[in-house]
Structure 1
Amino acid sequence: MKASRHFCNWMLMAACVAGATGMVGGAAHAAQIYKSEYRVSLYGLTIARASFSTNVSDSRAYEVNGKLMSSGLGSLFDDTSGTLDAKGQYSEAGPVPGSYVVKYKHGKRNKTTTIAFANGNVTSTVNVPPIKKKSNWVELKPDDLKSVADPLSGVMVAADSLDQICSKTLHMYDGQTRIDLKLSPESKPQPFATDGFKGDAITCSAKFVPISGYQSGRKAIEYLKNSSRISMTFASLGKSGIYSPVQAKIGTQIGTVSVYATRFEKTQ
């Protein structure tokens, strides 16, 4: 089934969006540990589950370790599993990534992507196996890899209040494709609750803008760019000033993929 080939991409994207939630407390100055779990669903049926452990040191360095695996409906199409690891440092302006590694197995295929950063700029990218560039490929330019973040750190938003979040543009790079997510207001702040968290959250619409590192004209990209409806609900733990998604919905050609934080709590 053609649609099944896209399951891995949607699940990884969804997990990246959700996994950053565990980092919201990082602006504090004491060592902290967070545990979080997420459900990824399609048509209301679970297709994947993800779990993350986040450590924030007293020097404001963060490290996120995540696991993802297909579940329920997703297991009927493809056996997918993966790990995601991100490291960086918090600054007054928000997270500054240092490294990002994603490894996943999709059926019998294995892929690893490693990205290194310095001062907010990409210094190296290694993909195993290498990316196969097809016709109409939009090449990455040097400036495209400046002032960007990985998909985990990239959805962390530094703001003084919830009302400021939906005016932001998020600049992200996943090791192949450079995109912008342009946020815009969708609703006023509303209560949000899940296991370990209760507080206010705000939902933003997100416009997917491909910059480079992709095949122009590819149906999946064109759909995300021109037809997809993407929303992201942001919340913050305490008074950290760092907001991240606790819920997301991503419109794809095979339906809307939803991500929901079923657990988010500080364990230390």
Structure 2
Amino acid sequence: MRLIASALVTLAFAGTASLAQGQTLKVTYDLSLAGLPLGKADLVSSFKGKKYEMQGNAKLTGFAMILTGGKGEASASGTLAGAGPRSTNFAVVSKTSDNQRSVRMGLKGGRVAEVEIDPPLEPKEDRIPVKPADKRGVVDPMSALLMPAVASKSLTDPDNCNRTIPVFDGASRMNVVLSYAETKNAEVAGYSGPVLVCNARYVPVSGHRPERPATKFMQENRDMSVWLAPVEGPRLLFPLKVSVRTMIGIGEMQASLWSLEQDGKASQPMRRAVRADDAIQAGAIQ
């Protein structure tokens, strides 16, 4: 389940305004598995100049809460530079009814400087060792949600999908490989307009256990996608929806509320991110 959750978050946890004045994007997600509601997640991303800060929390509800007591909190910060974010700090605390684990990580220049995991992961002989090179040129799972647009392209250009995101979560190194699938129209509270639908693949590099059934399943999984909505100010794309097939059904993280605020004031919902004569394929979130 840790691998599945990491994939969701990794793949996973608008309007126009001047970035220098500061903007805050607030998104609430509904979580579900195999069509059954699991809970909610809230993610707040603040931008000031090139700097960003992210705060998120997730809590299972209903029967899932009774079974696991699951909830978690995460934070990340860094700067937006070039083709991707450059994270400096990451922390996550996950809790269930019978255990709790925290991960704290510091990065400098895209290199992992220090990691603290409490309690430490149990050593396993079949775990692929993490090499020093695997900790360079990476981002944390939360910062990976920030996807700056290609400099020479519009926010809704299909090329914005085509990227490989190198992620290190404190224990394992992976690549999330995205590729363009299609363009749809989507509408949730606070946003209405085009989204890029990107296919996603999980490519483990190190820190994983290759013979585990869950690892093999995710590595061969071709039923993963992320829907990216444009955020004009910092010129980036952000997940509106994440869908991942798991061993027990489709897991989804679907935005139910989208709000971009400037100087403490909510912007008007963005109705179009491209000109009326820009061609997009018709569609809607189901």
Report the TM-score, using the length of structure 2 for normalisation: 0.83
The Cα shift of 1:45 comes to 1.5
The Cα shift of 1:152 comes to 1.4
CA contact (8 A) 2:17 2:232 kept: no
Distance verdict in 2 for CA 1:173–1:27, change over 3 Å: farther
| 1:82-231 alignment runs, 5 A limit | 82-158=72-148, 159=150, 160-161=153-154, 162-187=157-182, 189-231=183-225
Matched residues in 1 for 2:142 and 2:17: separation?
Answer: 14
Question: Which amino acid in 1 is paired with 2:62?
Answer: G
Note the alpha carbon deviations across 1:43-74, whole angstroms, 9 max, x for none. 222112111222222x3211111111111342
Matched residues in 2 for 1:14 and 1:25: separation?
Answer: 28
Matched residues in 2 for 1:84 and 1:114: separation?
Answer: 10
Matched residues in 2 for 1:17 and 1:78: separation?
Answer: 23
Distance verdict in 2 for CA 1:193–1:171, change over 3 Å: same
Question: Which amino acid in 2 is paired with 1:91?
Answer: A
Matched residues in 2 for 1:29 and 1:96: separation?
Answer: 18
Matched residues in 1 for 2:62 and 2:26: separation?
Answer: 23
The Cα shift of 1:16 comes to 4.9
Matched residues in 1 for 2:51 and 2:122: separation?
Answer: 35
Bigger mean CA deviation after superposition, 8-17 or 238-247: 8-17
Distance verdict in 2 for CA 1:155–1:35, change over 3 Å: closer
Matched residues in 2 for 1:110 and 1:81: separation?
Answer: 10
| Largest Rg, 1 or 2 | 2
1:54 corresponding residue in structure 2: 45
Which has the larger share of helix?
1
Match of 1:33 among 9, 12, 24: 24
Matched residues in 1 for 2:76 and 2:131: separation?
Answer: 24
* Unmatched runs of 5 consecutive residues or more in structure 1: 1-5
Secondary structure of the residue that 2:242 maps to in structure 1?
strand
CA contact (8 A) 2:200 2:222 kept: no
* Unmatched runs of 5 consecutive residues or more in structure 2: 265-286
The Cα shift of 1:9 comes to 5.3
Question: Which amino acid in 1 is paired with 2:235?
Answer: G
CA contact (8 A) 1:101 1:113 kept: yes
1:263 corresponding residue in structure 2: 257
Note the alpha carbon deviations across 1:78-118, whole angstroms, 9 max, x for none. 11011000111122433210110000111120100011111
1:3 corresponding residue in structure 2: none
Q: Percent identity?
A: 23
Matched residues in 2 for 1:239 and 1:35: separation?
Answer: 14
The Cα shift of 1:13 comes to 4.3
Bigger mean CA deviation after superposition, 89-98 or 201-210: 89-98
1:70 corresponding residue in structure 2: 60
Matched residues in 2 for 1:115 and 1:25: separation?
Answer: 33
Question: Which amino acid in 2 is paired with 1:204?
Answer: C
CA contact (8 A) 2:3 2:214 kept: no
Report the TM-score, using the length of structure 1 for normalisation: 0.88
Indicate whether 1:44 and 2:35 are aligned.
yes
The Cα shift of 1:76 comes to 3.9
The aligned length equals: 257
The Cα shift of 1:185 comes to 2.2
